[in-house]
Amino acid sequence: AQSVTQLGSHVSVSEGALVLLRCNYSSSVPPYLFWYVQYPNQGLQLLLKYTSAATLVKGINGFEAEFKKSETSFHLTKPSAHMSDAAEYFCAVSDLSVYGSARQLTFGSGTQLTVLP
């Protein structure tokens, strides 16, 4: 069964600093990987996804993530944090479902990003 671990439930960075949110996954087959962002009182919005075309994936709002098979990681980065980046971020893996034949998403527990002025 697939699983996702997000290291650090809360991350604080200063405005303009590097953002690094960590995600490690386990999957029995080559995975599809996703990062979603959730702003307060809203639903989840897709930031970016890895679908095996390229290991470095660029997403919206200046975020990118690198798929490293040897490390089973898919960390999310942004070179310079902005106040508007404050939100909760979820890593997810898509794999053949343990509940049926369709592919499902398994989510990590989330990382709350705080951006300090």
Binding site for other proteins (CB under 8 A): 4, 9, 32, 34, 36, 41-46, 49, 51, 90, 94, 99-105, 107-110
* Rounded CA separation 117/114 (Å): 10
Residue 97 and residue 114 in contact, taking contact as beta carbons nearer than 8 Å: no
Q: Kindly tell me which of 28 and 41 has the beta carbon lying closer to other proteins.
A: 41
* Rounded CA separation 114/94 (Å): 27
Q: How far is the CB of 50 from other proteins (least distance, A)?
A: 10
Q: How far is the CB of 89 from other proteins (least distance, A)?
A: 11
Output the six-digit token pair for 64: 């990118």
Q: How far is the CB of 4 from other proteins (least distance, A)?
A: 8
